[in-house]
Every structure is written in structure tokens, then in C-alpha cells.
Amino acid sequence: MLRRFGNQAVAPVWRDAGDPFVSDVLSLYQNYWWHALMSPPERDSHGRQLQRDLSELLGEQTTIEDWDAIESRVAAKLRERGYYSQLGVTPPLRELMIWRKQESSLHQVALPEGSHPVQLELLNDFVTRGWSAYARCDRSSNGGWATPDRLYAVGPAFSEGMDNDAFRASLLGHETQHFADLKRHPNLTPWELEYRAKLAELWLSRDSLARLLWKFHRDQGDDEQVPHLFANKRVMHALHAQLSAEGVTAESDLRDVSPDILRAAAREVLIQDTRAREAAASLAGPSR
């Protein structure tokens, strides 16, 4: 970490990825990630520089102003070379994941408000697991994401396999809640999606419940542009309020609360959030 991000660190030079285009794309993204992480107030300007650099790599004389257009062309070129990819934004940074292997399976996932069938894509043989891995020196990364029609799981993020809480609750449960919410509440902000998914994750957790609570307690923030940390703070606050309303006193990290009581509180907070959103939507009436 000190070599990568310490006071004497310099912008990275990427190793050969085995394909010139892949190497060039990854070099541009790693350069962007490094500068954006080293100087967060300037991350938008570094993003614009990435936009210019990618346009030049794609052979354009002027900058392509539409990020969707840039990313679709980059993804198409990667696919032509046998690579899958995920681009876009994982707040607060532009994202790039590249992998070679992908397997599909169907799952029925129980959530606090009902069961959902989902298609899961298990991803392996990564060239890069994105900026979350880069920021952690590749010791870990984000575990997956949801789209309107399926879930994606980053295989290397689950070294202990799929028969445990890390996969069942933190991947399938968390991301399936996103999947359900994207259909039911399409206008949720990133932090609201995370808030609801983290409540579902707590409800599903067994062996990992204490670890999750400590993580949510430790990693909190007030910047909506960093939705996981912002949501963690709101989850802990909402759980304290719910437990207090039930007459349950608790330490700040909640790990002294009975697991069954804690899981029930997480479910109740999620249900109340749904009711509030449905009531607000009903009062607003149909959109014009």
C-alpha cells in the first residue's frame, strides 16, 4: 500500500496483459484510478482526461463526449479479443473489469419480502477486478453486481466457495435485493439501493452477522458519492432506532444484541422503508 499510495509513490506502469489493446486500456484506467484515489477532489478532471485518452486510443481525433459510446466501443473490442468486461461507474470512480471465463446458473433466493428467481453469472480468470481491487492492492475486491436481468459474481472474491454466508448472504442476497429493487423501485439512488441490500444481507446472515455489523459500524461516511459507506451509517442509525422503539438497548456496534432480534429488526426496517416508498409513490400519483 505504501509503495502504491504512499508519499513517494508514482503513477503505475502496467505489465503486459498479453494483448496490446487490453494492456493499453488497462494502463489508462490504472493511471486514472491512481490519480483519482490520490487526489479525490480532482477525480472529475481525471475522469475527463481518461475520456480524452480512450477517445485517442479508439482512433478519434476529438474527444468522444458520450461515455456510453466510448464504453460500448471498448467493450466490443475486448469481446472481439475473447474478453468479457464491465464498464460504467462503481461510485465514485469509472469502472473496468476484464475476465475470460463465465458460467451461468439459476437460483431461487429468499429475501425479507419474498423469494426471487435469478440467473447468476459466475466470473473467473480475471485480468482486472476493477478499481476496488486496485485500491486494495488486489487483496480483495467487490464481489458482484446486479443488472435488470441477472446477477454477476466475481469468482475470486469467494475463495471459500458458495456454501457459506459470504456467498449466500453477501452476494446472492445482497445482489438479489438490488435485482428486486431495480424492478420495483427504479428511481432509487445508489446509496438507497445499498441501504436496502445491506438490510437484506443482515437478515440472511448467520455465521457472518457479527463480522458484518462490525464492518458497517467501522466503515461509515457522509458522502453520498461513496454509497456503501453512506448506507452503512444509515443502516446502523435505522437499526438503533428500531431496537430502541422495541425497548432494546444496545452498544454502538450492535454486536451485543441477540442475532434473532437483530435480524428481525433488519427485516422490519426494510419493510417499513418499502411501505414509506409505496405511500410516497401513491401520493405522488401517476407520472406524466
In the chain, how many H helices and how many E strands? 11, 5
Cα separation, 21 vs 120, whole angstroms: 29
Q: DSSP string covering 21-50, please?
A: HHHHHHHHHHHHHHHHHH-GGGHHHHHHHH
Nearest to 174 by CA among 160, 157, 187, 159: 157
d(C-alpha 143, C-alpha 160), whole Å: 13
Say how far apart CA 120 and CA 122 lie, in whole Å: 6
DSSP 247: T
Pairing of strands 114-128, 151-154: parallel
pLDDT tens by residue, the chain, 288 residues: 999 999 888 887 766 788 999 999 999 999 999 999 999 999 999 999 999 999 999 999 999 999 999 999 999 999 999 999 999 999 899 999 999 999 999 999 999 999 999 999 999 999 999 999 999 998 888 889 988 889 999 999 887 777 888 889 999 999 999 999 999 998 999 999 999 999 999 999 999 899 999 999 999 999 998 999 999 999 999 999 999 999 999 999 998 999 999 999 999 999 999 999 999 888 877 654
Residue 89's beta-bridge partner residues? 94
Cell numbers 481525471: residue:
46
Enter the pTM of the model.
0.80
Task: Quote the pLDDT of residue 287.
Answer: 52
> Is 140 within 8 Å of 169 (Cβ atoms)?
no
Residue 53 host element (H or E): helix 43-57
Output DSSP code: residue 16.
P
Work out whether strand 84-90 and strand 144-146 pair parallel, antiparallel, or are unpaired: unpaired
* Per-residue pLDDT, 96: 98
Domain boundaries, the chain: 2-178, 185-284
- Identify the pLDDT of residue 288: 46
Q: What would the grid cell of residue 52 be?
A: 480524452
Which residues pair with residue 120 across a beta bridge? Answer: 105, 151
Rounded to whole angstroms, how far apart are CA atoms 140 and 156? 8
